Every structure is written in structure tokens, then in C-alpha cells.
Amino acid sequence: MLQVLVIGQAPRPELAAEIEAAIPGVPIRMGGALDGLTRDEIAALAPHEGADTLFTVLPGGEAVTVSKAAVTRRLRARLAAADGPVLLACTGHFDGLPARPGLVQPSAVLDALAAALLPRGRLGLFLPLPEQEEAFGDARCRDGLEVTTVALRPYSDDAARCAAAERMAAARPDLVLLDCMSYTRRDKAVACAALACPVLLSIAVAARAAASLLSEG
């Protein structure tokens, strides 16, 4: 059983569907950092600035932004009560979480994979919100790497997907990362049709890494 911890609230059936497509046959149990809070209580956790901004979708389908600092505090409590491998369903980097075996932070997995696949060159990032571009772009930067960011809100229609993919294609990236766990196989398909480089779907990469920690039996 793979435990999945979202930064918002569970259930997230569309997220579960993407995970199950990436690791078919692996049962998952999902919980959320904001489980038990009312909509007004979630609204009170508004981000303070761009670097503090996280994007999530509530079980009813409403997209919201929340404070990374506030979510981190609640994640610590959830992780303290968890046993075994846990997939954190967010590509942001979280400082201050408990140092425990089996916690899969997608940001670390994606950084390592991008470094292995693209030691030098042009990295493209799709991000949910324009206000995240500076902070997330800076976080992915390293020597020898040029980073281009394009905002694309998850669950956009194909017209918005195509427009974002065309903006990204103009930068001629060598590797592209769909840098949010709410992006889907459809987002990747549209991006791949417009781009002449590999495209990594964060949720699939992270789910496969987390599943590798489970027993093969």
C-alpha cells in the first residue's frame, strides 16, 4: 500500500487516476494536509507572497492557492503519524519536514533526474501560476542550465494547453518538466506534440519512484 499525502484535501480522484496509470496494480491510500478544515479555514491560509504560494484543487474541483508555510506545519503532523513509504503529492521543496526513511519529495526526485538527463542545456518548466515562475525557476537553476518557465493552469482546455506549448517551443528546450502534480497525461500529450524534446510528467515520475520502495511480492 502506497500512502499519498496531498497538500490540500482528499479525496482527489483525478490525482489517484494519474497515479494508478503510472503504477498499475499498486493500491494507494490518500490523505490531505488540509483534511478536516472548512472552506473558510482554508481561505484563511492564503499565501503571503510568490515563494509562499502553492496551488491545489479541493475535492469539489475548486482550485485554490494556499500558504506553503501553513501547509508545511500541517504536513509535519500528518507525517509524524504515518508509517512506511509516503509520496508527497507536490513538486515544491519543503524545508522542515521530518527526516524519515521512505518520504518521497518529488522535487528531489525531479531535480536528480533532470540533472542526470540534462547536465547542461535548456530546461523548460510548466508551472500552474505566473506568480510561481520566479521562485520555482530559481529553485531549478544550476550551473550550465538555462531555465524557461511558462504558466499553464492545470485542467485547462486544449486551446490553453496548445498556446502554452507554443510559448515553450519558442525557447527550444532540451528537456521539459510539467512541474506540478496536478498536470495530467493529456497535458503531456499536448506538450509532446508541440515540442521536439522529452517531456517529464511529475506525477508519473514521482509515483514510480515511490512505488520502488514497496515490496515486489
Does residue 216 belong to any structural domain of this protein? no
Q: What is the pLDDT of residues 8-20, one digit of tens each?
A: 999 999 999 999 9
Reduced to 3 states (helix: H, G, I; strand: E, B; else coil), residue 74 is helix
Q: How far apart are CA 142 and CA 123, in angstroms?
A: 11
pLDDT < 50 regions, the chain? none
**Same domain flag for 80 and 39:** yes
Q: How far apart are CA 98 and CA 96, in angstroms?
A: 6
Q: What is the pLDDT of residues 85-99, one digit of tens each?
A: 999 999 988 988 988
**Same domain flag for 95 and 114:** no
**Same domain flag for 6 and 95:** yes
Contact 173, 197 (CB under 8 A): yes
**Same domain flag for 61 and 123:** no
Reduced to 3 states (helix: H, G, I; strand: E, B; else coil), residue 155 is coil
**Same domain flag for 19 and 83:** yes
Give the pTM.
Answer: 0.92
Does residue 74 belong to any structural domain of this protein? yes
- What pLDDT is recorded for position 217? 61
Q: How far apart are CA 100 and CA 97, in angstroms?
A: 9
Residue 174's domain spans which residues? 108-202
Does residue 217 belong to any structural domain of this protein? no
Does residue 142 belong to any structural domain of this protein? yes
158-169 vs 185-194: helix crossing angle, rounded to 10: 40
Contact 71, 33 (CB under 8 A): yes
Q: How far apart are CA 8 and CA 57, in angstroms?
A: 7
How many Cβ atoms from other residues are within 10 Å of residue 166's Cβ?
12
**Same domain flag for 96 and 13:** yes
**Same domain flag for 130 and 160:** yes
The structural domain count of the chain equals: 2
- What pLDDT is recorded for position 101? 86
Does residue 176 belong to any structural domain of this protein? yes
**Same domain flag for 117 and 56:** no
Q: How far apart are CA 210 and CA 104, in angstroms?
A: 6
**Same domain flag for 63 and 136:** no
- What pLDDT is recorded for position 92? 87
Does residue 77 belong to any structural domain of this protein? yes
